[in-house]
Amino acid sequence: MDQKANAFLETESTGRLMAKYAVPCVISLLVAALYNIVDQIFIANAGYLGSYGNAANTVVFPLTVVALSIAVMIGDGCCAFVSISLGAGNRDAAHKSIGSAVLLCIVSGLVLTALYLIFQEPILTLFGGRVNQETFYHAKEYFFWITLGVPFYMFGQALNPIIRSDGSPRFAMASTLAGAFANIILDPIFIFVFRWGMMGAAAATVLGQILTAALAVWYLCRMKAVRLERGSFRLHGRLAKKYLPLGICSFLSQISLVMSMAAIQNMTLKYGALDLIFGQEQYAQIPMAVLGIVMKFFQIVISISVGLAAGCIPVVGYNIGAGRKDRAKDLFIRLLAAEAIVGAAALLVVELFPRQLIGIFGAANESVYYTEYAVKCFRVYLCMTVLATVNKGTFIYLQSLGKALASTAISMVREVLFGVGFALLLPLRFGLDGVLYSMPVSDLLTFLICLATIVYTFQALNSDRPNQLHFCEN
């Protein structure tokens, strides 16, 4: 291996490096986020689906995140292990771990699909699907067809980082883009022309996922750094025990988000039923539908936030290894500034243009209560977006310093302790509004923890003593 191949990471401008590495990450994450968001936009603007379909989409969304959490655990873990193995010249371990990961992803995808099909109604009920009869009907239809695509979705998502580990980040991004564009093209055809309703929205998504998975299979047959053999495709338990723990951080960050969404959606269902307006059958689905829209907008913001931070990981890691703590500190400053700018821009949009935002999601076809609640939800639920993006950047920067455990711990505190806890407690005092308050309160308290972490990290990066860098040592 050429030891000087990545020397530019120590010499090139940190701002230029951040842009070079972060932009592809941001694009990939935004494209991945498009799948569910595009479905929701077209569903909302179909008069025969409207807020009922939107609410159904919100109910099903966390269940796709469960599939994603398993896929990224396998894919990210295998990606890290393959990179380490190739760096050590161990190509045998590399090809066997990829084959094992492929097989494990297929098996886990089929198992999850079977569980979803067998326990469909209890699962949808757990995530607030019984807000009213029509929403539950749409949720079942959408969930059934989305479930059939779970193995393809998981395969494509797991192979994406593995393809990157083979030195082809552009192909990984292109395969995801192809699936997303297919979804965008097919959604209006299936929903408006064929009038297939929720089945059409799901079918467009699944066909896009199949395209991404097919491109991943095509690439597997043409890998550059690793040559797969028939013997590669076994579970290889010894290797799985090595690469799965490397992806556990990715798994926990996703699954904790599911727990938070489950709590929020159930409290929305419970306290929406007690509300003077939304307790009425014809309006019962509105809080769930609106909450899903706001979450999707926030998902776009967080995709940018995560992409910015993830792009810094290889640059920070290299410079820490080279003893250039000054450059690592400079990147941290740039990252925090960029995260704050993204959060501030998002905050301005939700505070100044909430009616325009909700208009994209079919407000013209809904009652005045739909628009009024959406405006309130955007302005309250996302009022601490600046802190949320800074928090996310801090979590991921810790990973670049080799502190995945600390990163995961703070992330779990945010999503589980605060996210679930406040979603359950605040409605006891504030009713349905308490669900909205849970987000900014959680982000504010998490920021206080992150602030202490930021101060400590700067002290470590400013220190001349190697043993002072507790955060930066494995």
Question: Is 334:18 a contact under the CB 8 Å cutoff?
Answer: yes
Report yes or no on 140 lying in a domain.
yes
Regarding whether 445 and 357 lie in a shared domain, the answer is yes
Question: In the predicted model, what is the mean pLDDT of residues 399-413?
Answer: 81
Q: Which residue do the tokens 């006891």 mark?
A: 428
Regarding whether 335 and 197 lie in a shared domain, the answer is no
Q: Considering its fold, how many domains does the chain have in total?
A: 2
Report yes or no on 209 lying in a domain.
yes
Coil vs helix vs strand at 244: coil
User: Can you give the pLDDT at residue 465?
Assistant: 56
Regarding whether 338 and 239 lie in a shared domain, the answer is no
DSSP 194: S
Report yes or no on 272 lying in a domain.
no
Check residue 197 and give left, alpha or beta (phi > 0: left; psi -120 to 50: alpha): left
Tens of pLDDT, residue by residue over 38-74, are 888 999 899 899 899 999 999 999 999 999 999 988 9
Q: Which residue do the tokens 């807000």 mark?
A: 131
User: Please, where are the H alpha helices in 166-247?
Assistant: 169-188, 197-220, 237-243
DSSP 195: -
Please say if the pLDDT value at position 472 is more than 80: no
User: Can you give the pLDDT at residue 63?
Assistant: 93
Regarding whether 458 and 394 lie in a shared domain, the answer is yes
- The residue ranking higher by pLDDT, 315 or 374, is 374
Please say if the pLDDT value at position 25 is more than 80: no
Domain with 381 in it = 281-474
Question: In the predicted model, what is the mean pLDDT of residues 229-237?
Answer: 86
User: Can you give the pLDDT at residue 1?
Assistant: 37
Regarding whether 239 and 98 lie in a shared domain, the answer is yes
Please say if the pLDDT value at position 294 is more than 70: yes
User: Can you give the pLDDT at residue 170?
Assistant: 79
Regarding whether 447 and 329 lie in a shared domain, the answer is yes
Percent of the chain whose predicted confidence (pLDDT) is above 70: 96
Regarding whether 224 and 80 lie in a shared domain, the answer is yes
Measured CA distances, 114 to 49, 138, 271 (Å): 28, 20, 32
**Interaxial angle between packed helices 368-381 and 286-321, expressed in degrees from 0 to 180 and rounded to the nearest 10:** 30
User: Can you give the pLDDT at residue 380?
Assistant: 97
pLDDT band at 183 (very low <50, low <70, confident <90, very high): very high
Q: Which residue do the tokens 């306290």 mark?
A: 271
User: Can you give the pLDDT at residue 464?
Assistant: 67
pLDDT band at 6 (very low <50, low <70, confident <90, very high): low
Regarding whether 126 and 57 lie in a shared domain, the answer is yes
Q: What is the mean pLDDT of the chain?
A: 88
Please say if the pLDDT value at position 156 is more than 50: yes
User: Can you give the pLDDT at residue 52?
Assistant: 94
pLDDT band at 163 (very low <50, low <70, confident <90, very high): confident
- The residue ranking higher by pLDDT, 310 or 18, is 18
Helix count and strand count (H, E) for the chain: 19, 0
Report yes or no on 265 lying in a domain.
no
User: Can you give the pLDDT at residue 470?
Assistant: 44
Measured CA distances, 21 to 10, 25, 169 (Å): 14, 7, 10
Task: Report the alpha-carbon distance of residue 439 to residue 444 in Å, rounded.
Answer: 9
Task: Report the alpha-carbon distance of residue 306 to residue 322 in Å, rounded.
Answer: 25
Regarding whether 310 and 222 lie in a shared domain, the answer is no
Task: Report the alpha-carbon distance of residue 264 to residue 36 in Å, rounded.
Answer: 19
Task: Report the alpha-carbon distance of residue 355 to residue 371 in Å, rounded.
Answer: 7
Regarding whether 288 and 238 lie in a shared domain, the answer is no
Task: Report the alpha-carbon distance of residue 258 to residue 470 in Å, rounded.
Answer: 31
The separation between CA 170 and the C-alpha centre of its own chain, rounded to angstroms, equals: 20
Percent of the chain whose predicted confidence (pLDDT) is above 90: 57
Question: In the predicted model, what is the mean pLDDT of residues 149-170?
Answer: 88
Question: Is 58:295 a contact under the CB 8 Å cutoff?
Answer: yes
Tens of pLDDT, residue by residue over 308-322, are 887 787 777 778 777
Task: Report the alpha-carbon distance of residue 459 to residue 469 in Å, rounded.
Answer: 9
Regarding whether 238 and 304 lie in a shared domain, the answer is no
The separation between CA 196 and the C-alpha centre of its own chain, rounded to angstroms, equals: 28
Please say if the pLDDT value at position 226 is more than 80: yes
For the chain, the straight-line distance linking the first and the last C-alpha, in angstroms and rounded, comes to 23
User: Between vectors from CA 454 to CA 451 and to CA 460, what angle results, nearest 5°?
Assistant: 145
Q: What contacts 24+ positions apart, CB below 8 Å, involve 62-65?
A: 62/127, 62/257, 62/258, 62/261, 62/262, 62/265, 63/116, 63/123, 63/127, 63/143, 63/146, 64/36, 64/146, 64/150, 64/153, 65/254, 65/255, 65/257, 65/258, 65/261
Please say if the pLDDT value at position 323 is more than 90: no
pLDDT band at 469 (very low <50, low <70, confident <90, very high): very low
Regarding whether 201 and 101 lie in a shared domain, the answer is yes
Ranking 32-36, 294-298, 448-452 by mean pLDDT, the lowest is 32-36
Report yes or no on 254 lying in a domain.
no
User: Can you give the pLDDT at residue 434?
Assistant: 97
Please say if the pLDDT value at position 439 is more than 70: yes
